[in-house]
Structure 1
Amino acid sequence: MNKRIRLFAALCLPLAILVQTAAQAQTQDTSERDRSLIVGFLEDNLSGAGRNIRIDGFKGLLSSEATLESLTISDDQGVWLTLTDAVLDWNRSALLSGRLEVEKLSAASIELIRRPETAATTTTPEASVFSLPELPVSIDIGAFSVDEVHLGPEIIGTQDPILLSVFGTASLKDGNGAATLEIDRLQGPVGSFRLDTAYSNADANLDLDLSLTEGQNGLVATMIGLPGTPDLSLTAKGSGPLDTFIADIELATLGQPRLAGRVGVSTIVDPSELQETDEGAQTATSVPQPKTRSFFADIRGDVTPLFDPEYAAFFGASTQLTVNGVSYPDGRMTLDDFSLGTDALSLSGALAIGTDALPTSFDISGTIQTKDGTPTLLPLAGDKRFIDRAEISAQYDATRGEVWSAKAQLSGFDQTDLTIKDVSVTAKGLISRKRHAELSQILRALEANIQIMASGIAFTDPALQTAVGPELAADTQLTWRDDGKLVISDFIVLSQDTKLNAAGTVSGLDSGFTFKGNVALDTPRLSRFAPLAGRPLKGAVNATAQGVFTPLGGGFDAQITGLGQNLEMGIPKVDALINGRSEFALTARRDETGLNFDSLTLQTPAITAQGSGTLTGESSNLELAVRLDDTARLNAGVSGPLSVDANVSQSTPTGPWQTTATMTGPGGSQANLSGSIANTFNTAALQLVGTAPLGLANNMTTAALVQGTAAFNLRLDGPLALSSVSGTITTQEGARAVLPATGLSLSFEKFEARLDNDNAQISAIARADTGGRLTAEGRIGVTSGLQTDLRVIVNNLTVSDPDLYSTTVNGNIAITGALLTGPKIVGALTLGQTDVRVASVALGAGGDILPITHLSEPSDVRQTRARAGVLATDSNDSAAYGVQLDVTVDAPNQVFVRGRGLDAELGGRLRLTGSTQNIVPIGQFSLIRGRLSLLGNRIELTEGELYLQGSFDPSFKLVAETNTDDMTIQVTTSGSVSAPAVDLTSSPELPEDEILAQLLFGRALTEISAFQAAQMAAAVATLTGGGNGIVGSIRDSIGVDDLDVTTSDEGDTALRVGKYLSDDVYTDVTIDSSGKSVINLNLDASDTVTFKGSMSPSGATSLGVFFEKDY
């Protein structure tokens, strides 16, 4: 090796001479070269991740004295170390002889401001190979000095910086070495460290003198946290040959010894190694031989002042450590006895290690318990931990067999957040040495069966208590053999009904272990982990992982499978996807090349997902395919299957993720996504192009029903926010919309939404099937509550309800404000000829649907009931705001109200204000002219009005008034157009049936004929639309059970009068407007059999028998 060094030096010598000659010729050029070449080389090679070194004022590397003005080391937070005015005085030519001779290495000051920032470890997909770090530079310093070393407050935890001086010497020559080191504190409490040591190969003599002294509040006492930071002294002194070396050690505080004792080593000479001198004395042979050495340690003292007073019960007044042992040249070692004792701790025993590094015997026992039996506070960092008692014992003797055993018992464990009543550990096994006949060697093996049981477990955290439970048990079987592998036959942990099981082989224990095997988890009740997760978890999980794992390097090659049953996370949209039986499988590996997902599958009743891919430090590629059976599971308002096929890839470590995806959704919707996402996942450049049926929106609102197809071409460029989206959404030919509330059916000639800068510019033209046109222009903001500014033009729009009204509308409407928090509609509408039809019969006269309780109601049935308005809803579910209104409706005339004998014309102006939740109408349509016709009687209308109160079913009131000789009669028709009410009043006051008789015939009710009664009933039908209020009064006054007015297909009116002659016999007589009558007779023979007979005016008769059964 030395020859190679000399050869390399000889080859470099001409270059060194050339450089030195050039240096003498051009000093300025040399300085620049020093900076550009040498300094750059040193800075580049000494710097690293999180460590940046800067050298200034570097001179004279090729001279006998090299200097630099300053050297700084910094990290991301700035400079943390500064060295100034450094000098290296050395012998250059000695390098040619393979020697480093440094006469002086000094610095004016070193300032250590703070601890350096630990460089963040970047997690990469690749697994690392476990190895010890290698330093880039080797440094050997002979003698050195630093005038001032500044230690910042962050270094030692003091308020003020610490100032030190350092001086040292070192020499190594001809087998003799010596070193001294002196460190003194320059400010504050006195403090000094001294080391003086020397060793000679000739006589194997070692001299050691180490001392540390400091006053109160000293540096060492502060750093190790001694209570009260007392003055401190530590000495270690010894001198003599290594064969009989003994060192005295003492630690003292406040001038009082705390720990003192001796440690030593001596050689046990084998008589076979001795030879006689001429005088007959025995000396060691000149040939060095491996030596048998005994060693000992005996240290004791009162250490309680070194700890907080609360630990006094554990240590007591005396702590002792004694060790006596022997090490043999063949590798054996014995600890003939060792003991460690305090007031609460007693640990002692003996141990023997064979030449094969396995124990040949041991006998160890120990207890922890205070003398008075009170709980013992253990001297451990962190939370305070108490125990009532702990006991351990272990025994083995190879001369008696291969079996070893050990046990430990702990009771009364108590810390801030956890108590355990009892913990027991039982272990037994074999230590065997068996000769292998074929290999001619002894094979070693260790076997262990370990059982752990903990009971009375109580966490203060209820969530942890529910998850772990009051008991925990573990059982494992381990085997280690000469091949270096540790076999885990079975490792089981039980906690309530949760079981963790593992089995496999651990190898490479000397180089970063590898585990090959399987791990299984079975938990039938996830609900026990719900409080810990903070979510209402439910269901059962059984998962297994098998393969090869290298924990220290992070590598693995594994297959993971899982089975879930009725899983729930308390997130409705997720629960809808994972409920039922869930199956999961993953095959993946991670090594030096990267992370590879060979296959990933997820199968539930709702979703199927498959994936694969590779992640490396250079490039990555991922494939994913997802199928959802019905989007209705997500309460998305749409129904139908959804499929997504996606690919993401990255070509460089910091490059963007290239993304493509194809989506097919409900109703034939489809979309293609392409573009890139930044490596930081905060910006993207993506384009989404596709089509979707407009009918998907029908499941989200009942205000409008649409059909047709929408095409979209959208782009996201910038931050992942709606403000970065641009593009267009348009409807294709055939797009239609139906507004059920208004009866309008619209065909879109054009619809376009152009997104840009937080806004969607809207342009739409639609024609109504009934005639007319709607045009909308404006914008809708995509943020801040959907701020809107739309202008709608209504042109000759025909609005009608076949049963109620028909009109033509013109005008302008503006929709402004935030759509999500309360927009406002302002505008003016003008009505053309308007026909309002008062319903001849009450619409929906079938009556209300009786309350029904729906069991296991399907979602589509519930949706149908909601649209029909028969689904009870919580008032709190309604919008918290109403649409503000300020709309003027003008109709100067030609508002005709007809039906039920009414023929009226109204006109006026109506202003709708308030909100959709509380419409406040101002103004009305008032009566211009009109009349009421009953049985040829024409009664002039004297009062009338028409107005809206929140729906498209207008409300009105019309009053007709006439005078007879004896009274004044008023007929008032009022209410909604679909279900008006009629009131008859008179002065003087009479019953309604009497008023009607006087109005029609000028007679009292008792004075009219049967035919006039039929006419009166027809008039009532005209007024009430089939109502029976007045008819009931007439029926009661003439003493019949049934009185009804009917109309034939030809429009003829007839009166039917019926009465029970007895409980089982019923008859009725029908008289038409021409005076013809029909008589019917019914006889109920039983609950199911009825005889019916009839006779017509022509004398024809009929008889029938009817069987009826209710079911």
Structure 2
Amino acid sequence: GQGGGTLAARLGPGDRAERRPLALTASLAPAALADTDETGLLAPQVSLDLTGELLPEGLEGVDARLHTGALTLALTEGRYLGGEIGGALRLALAPHPHGAERLPEGLAPLLAEGGELTAEIVGRTDGVLRLADLSGRAGGGRLTLAGEASYDTDAALAGLSLEADGTADLLAALLPEAELEGPVRLAIDGTAGTDDLDARLTLTLPPGRWAGEAHGAGRLALFANGPPTAPDLRLSGALADPDGSEAGTLAGTVRLTDGTDALSADLTGRYRAARLAADADLALSPLSGNAAFRLSIEDAARTFPTAGALGSLDAQGTAELGGDSPVLAATVTSPSFAGFGLRLLGLEARAEGPLSALALTVTAGMIAPQSGEGLERVSAEARLAGTDAGTTVRLSRFAAIASGEELRLAAPAEARITAETLSLGPLTVSVGEAGRLTARASGEGTAFTAELGLQDLPLPPAGLRASGRVVLASDGSSLDLALVPLDPAAPDARLALSGQETGGRLALRGSLTARSESGTVSAPDLVTAALPFRVTASAGRPVFETSGPARIALAYEGAVAPLFAFANLPDQTLTGRLTLDATLAGPLEDLAPSGGLRLAGGTYEHTEAGILLSPLAVEGTVERAGDDLQLTADLTAGDGRGGEPGRIRGALTARLAEGTPRLEGTLALREARIVAREDLNAVVDGRLALATGPSGGAPAYTASGSLTIRQAEYFIPDSLPPSVVDLDIRAANPGSPAVPKAIAEEAAPASGPTLALAIELTGSRIFVRGRGLTSEWAADLDVTGTASDPRLDGALTLTRGNVELGGRRFELDRGIVAFSPLTEPAPRLDLQASFAAPDGVTALVTVTGRASEPAIALSSTPPRPEADVMALVLFGRPAADLTAVEGLRVAQAVAELTGQNPFGGGGPGLLDKVRQGLGVDTLDVDTSGDDPALTVGRYLTDDIFVSASQGLTGESGKISVESKISDQVSVKTDVGGDSSADVSVNWSFDY
């Protein structure tokens, strides 16, 4: 029942030397051997052909060939005489008849072009068999092997010494993340017997880049010692930085106890800022079929979520493998982890029950890909049922936050997968306040259908809201979508997309409709496209075919504002008349654009940044030049102040060659007001140039040139601007898995091109005003570093100015704000202000040191004590002539200005000492008005606060009682010295 084979042998007559020719052929029937992975490496038919001469002492002149599929093992000049063996062996792999298309992705670069392995086989009478001069090649010669092997039949001892070299382009084909500068070498040396194993494997890496990050040379070694059934494994490795310094190390052990069921492993490592420790234990019980496991990974440096760190992860559980349905109980927890293409914060996942009804729960503060946004505040419950017939997953609960929108499962949903079928849904998820997403799918054999319904679905990254229906089906796909701006303040615009697939071609059309006070704008053919697209199925699973020519056309002439509404740029507007005529043609993976655009009579405004460009004109073209893609654009604009329109001129040329963009551009400013806000405005002259610089990874650009500030004004705000709400935020639930925005943003490491700066910034008539300060400055700065991390070198120098301190006008005598790229970003200050006080005294206030930790000092000429100087400034009299209340105010003012305790040292100030002596909770002196007042206060209970205020006049006295009714509501009662009364109710909400 398993098939069979044939065997034919022919032995000829002997000669005088008793040599007899021998011929042997054999074949194995198809049923006996099958190519289970369907790669074509093996074949159902196996054949053997052998010829040679039979002698009394053995065999000689043997030529043999064993063949199956793409594999052939051949022996030439083989012999077996007097117990000795010899001959040449060759194992050949023919090029695959179908190329790489049927090979697994990881094997295709190695095996598609075939390969071979050759060796001389030598056997001695002492029982030692050797494969000498072992050599081989694969991957079109990009992988080479060399070495030897041996086996001692008497001692049952095998030996191997082998070196393999793989070229950099072969490794890049196997691992696209790798960009190496030389070959990779793998060396294996060792011996193995029935009782002992002693082996070493060494991998040597050349310098290069991995996933875009540069590194130096590296080495990884694995040592195996002990019984072959339970060897001890030791791991060690090192990786260098590009400059040759050590970037990281790795060391660890794996131990399997002989004769038991215990496996343990521990691993320690370091990579730049990250420290790694991992250990694992596995216990198996062959008799009961039970198992227990634990895996722990810990980044001791706790550097997550910065780049290069792993964080920590712990997994443990038990499995009962005996019985009809195995039972699993496992948990995975991680406060923070980055690895395996994921970033996790606050993860807790559990799996409990038999595999036929396995309950799954997941909660996490964040689950996201290694780069980009993901899900926050994730909570889900599901049940998995696995049988021989298939697997069913029932999702009973799901909630998360994506791009600031709340996702919630509207009703339980079910998916079922078998060997030939697939079904899903309906799956309905509510998104945000009114959005809804519904999905269902089914597939069987070569048929597949999926339907996606969208209802007011917010898409925050794109700034859009979508409604409509998308159908993906093997008998014809279609879509019908309506997109509107997500921002309710955006213009009333609607982009409708419709498409129908016929015969593997998707015909797509996009139309624009917008309404405004000036009328309705309609563009029925804004987008037209013909795209290669077809859905087929295999075993009910969808297969998407997108090969073939594509063409996309964009055509528009009219107001640009409706289109700009879809740009998702808050606080920015663009008006004018746009003419657009562009196409993209070719295969989807290599579309070639052509055409251009023109904007005339335009106005661009960024209200938050204070940028106004008007009138604005832009012309741009894009075309394919050979294998390069080239885009050119010219910009001419005014600064919104009227007059000449060409105060701002720019030109940009972008060229994409071999996947690397190169930019060249200029920006010229002529007395242009580049920013005009209520708090800041600046008029600038100058010229900047943009160029592409050398870089081993992402493109690097440089902006260089010089800018001159003709005039600038900065107004220091008296308080926070209206757009910022100053809240005292208290965490109501510190244990919540919510992810702070700053942490979530830091968790996504920045990538992409860098913009280096080399700009000279000079100018005068730079005015800083506000909070009592009126000053004029001059600038002489060099701006270096990058756009994301600029560095300043130079100084701002005071021209003239004054400042109001304590109601008195101080003249600014000296002012220097010095920047240096070699020190911390905070500049160094050297400021002095003076005030002509009575009695011929000039009060001096100096500010020195770093802006982050300034040192403020009060002095005078001629020298006087600080208290006398402040008394003369505030009251025009020496400290000895002040009242007690005025003296307290002087001492407090000196402490506030200089940051020093009037009693010396750290700790409480003067008023704090008096408050503590009186036994009250608050004490304050107010001398800002005509009637100085002293206020004291104390809590009678946790919910009742009483305060009393008294000035120099009896009528100014006041008593206040504040009662806390609840966490949100309190009542305050004030009774004045003139018997007047006032009652107020206060409400607050903490979030």
> Whose helix fraction is larger, Structure 1's or Structure 2's?
1
* TM-score interval, smaller chain: 0.3 to 0.5
With the length of structure 2 as denominator, give the TM-score of the two structures. Answer: 0.43
With the length of structure 1 as denominator, give the TM-score of the two structures. Answer: 0.39
- Largest Rg, 1 or 2: 1
> Whose strand fraction is larger, Structure 1's or Structure 2's?
2
